[in-house]
Structure 1
Amino acid sequence: MKHFFSTLCLGLVLSTTLLTSCHKDSVEPSIANSAVANDDFSVLEDAAIRGGVAVVLTNKAANGGDYTVFAPTNAAFARLGLRSAEDLLALRKPFLTTTLLYHTAAGLLPGSSLQPGSTTASVAGPARRIIGRNGALYVNGSQLLARDVQAANGLVHPIDKVLLATGADIVQSALALKNGQVFVQPELTFLVEALVYCELTGALTASPGSPSFTVFAPTDAAFKQLGQQLGVSLAQPADIRKLPKATVTAVLLNHVVNNGGKFTPEFADNGSLPTLGGGTLTMGTFAAGVIPVRGKGNDQPATLVIPDVQCTNGVVHVIDRVLLP
């Protein structure tokens, strides 16, 4: 497998073509080749190369300063089904690039500066929230597995989940998924159709002074499963319109909580959340970075398949089951 090391060589001897003359013992370790020393970051390595940010992780900043990188492990990428360089092809390259830069901060952010309630700026994207829970420290919903791994051009903090931020509001983020701008394969197509059908896009669009929400967003497979339960064929997004508009509206509002937008470590174990539709969602126990959620009408709780997606007006958690009032 190729390594960051090859890119390290390229960045250090860009003026020559003799890459073979570059040896690990001839340079001080950078973030890039410090990461490659640990096999648990091989997917991050491949992602950095494909996303075009490997040189950023190799060199100093343009002003000669350092970087801090929150580095997802292989297990973190595997949560998204990304286990190899080939799997990364499921992501659009521009989204991959901005996602990797969202993990990067200009300047040093030592572990001692990461205090619960504080925020950290990123090279690209919104500020990240530092959250404390049961003695562990989280960046948004991602737990810090270690702190202050030293490198020639900065620091590395390994994390257990990939940090996700869309740079857009909830509606535009859902549209990006629907239009295949995030994953090559479109997703949330039924949810977007339902929001349009029920005229709820305006409520979840960011505007000055508008609230921030936590949204549990069912996958396309979740809506198809709902159709099977109801005895209605939901083979394509337009089939949502076979259901009464009032019914779909009530179901959608049962997925929205007006609480400022919460990441998974911020949910109380076995707590309840009042929804915009007047119902209540029941949370399970927080474990391994996720927490189950159940609607009053559900026999089984929904699993968070893509948790902690930061939007400009809240946080979205993609789930595998529709939450029924």
Structure 2
Amino acid sequence: MNKFRTISIVFSMLALIGFNSCDDDDVESPGAAIVGPGTVYTRITANGNLTSLEAALKIATGDLPNILEGTGPFTVFAPTDIAFNSFAESVGYITTDDITAGEALLADSNLDLDVLSQILTYHVVSGTMEASSFTDGTTLTTLSGDDLGVIVTADGDVQIQDATKVGQTNPVSTVTQANNYADNGIVHFIDKVLLPEAAIEALNFDTRPTLIEWAAGTEDLSLLASALDKAGLADAIAALDTARVLAPNNQAFEDLFDALGDDYSSLDDFDNEVEISLLGEILLYHVLPPANASIDLVVGPAVTLLEDNLVDVIADGTGFAFGDVTATTANTITAGIDAKNGVVDIIDKVLLPQSALDFIALLGSDDLATTVTSSPQLSILAEALTATDLADAFADITNVQDTTATNFSYHMPATVFAPTDAAFTDLFTALGPDYTSIASFDTDEEKELLSEILLYHVVAGKIASADLEAGMVTTVSENDIEIISVLGTDNFVIGDATNDVNANITTPDVMARNGVAHIIDKVLLPKSAIDFINDME
């Protein structure tokens, strides 16, 4: 056989072995099967995601590459380049177009190489420990002489906790790629640079959690953390230079759900744009920005991040309580928790701005269908809605419903011009002796006409009488009506396609959850109705 063909076949076989092996981190590489996996240092230098670790090992004091080439065995927790960049940024280095933060740190001529060595040896433990051998709660002693903690999550993830541990934030490092075997040990890739106590002190590293970390890492604030995520505010809170956050505990949120009613049992029920926007307003009402460069509390009204809203700071003898637009104050459970970018006070009530009270009142009000059908002088309109299957549509005629939810958005309310029973009687008279009631509309053509007439009375948007303006308005039926100002008065009449008799508003501003009804004394007729009447003659 041709020697070049033989070599080609060998390389092809090796390639196939490699392709079939790369999906399993616990299986040695094809090269390892032939020449051995090399040392833990070899495994580090051979991986393109550990270049910062490799560079750090080379420049740190103590000849660390030579140590990791030794007999061992060693278990190495290897921070990835992304982890090194995050660490470098946390101690003040920045990423530019030319260099990453990690590279900038390692290129700094003032870098304390002894401290760097302390950090790196803190990532090395004697022995060969596979990921499956780690037990939750175990303490590992590193080559630096300091301890690491082991956490095994319910999902089986292995996490390593260093000296920056704070119970509320649990800033752990997670093993992202386990069991990279070597002749003298094993390497596990991790997503955070681990810091021993000595390095924390030498770097003056601020181990305090941020405001958002306090929320995310405190069990009794888990609903607050979820609410911040849902409202899209987590990044904004994390970016605050300094602020005081009044943090409602989980029970406070449960009490809020109860106040909102049966349709709200969890944050999942905030399932449309209006509700999520309201949730955001409520949360921002709990953030007090610095006043005069201080975030200390002072008795009296405090301006919130939600513009034009005030939280009342009240001295209660032992500390502070907080008042909103309701009669119930929020008591402080835990005060003055120090965060990297501010202060957290855990409170026992979700504070409510006026917009939240308005929403609660809105939830308790009737929709347009109920409002219309419950009025004695609108009984024929109610009958017409039922006959045309529009009763449900009238409830939220212009709203967009989330098909996965039970609630409407209330975001696009409607205005209904509601004809009285007398107005319908006049319509029947105009149509002739064959039309004495809604039941007379008994053919498909007549029901379609009746439906078009009813939708001709509905305009998108909640327009109170004080907001009426003269001009043409397009109805839900896509036909125009005319709002006509009565000369010399503040009143308006409504013109339709008849162009002769206008409708007077006899009772304005009958408010509903999703809009407003104005009771009128004439059934408005679109062009299609005029044509129908003319064809009857």
Give yes or no for TM over 0.5. no
TM-score of the pair, normalised by structure 1:
0.44
Larger radius of gyration: 2
Q: Which has the higher contact order (CA 8 A, sep 6+)?
A: 1
Structure 2 length normalisation: TM-score? 0.27
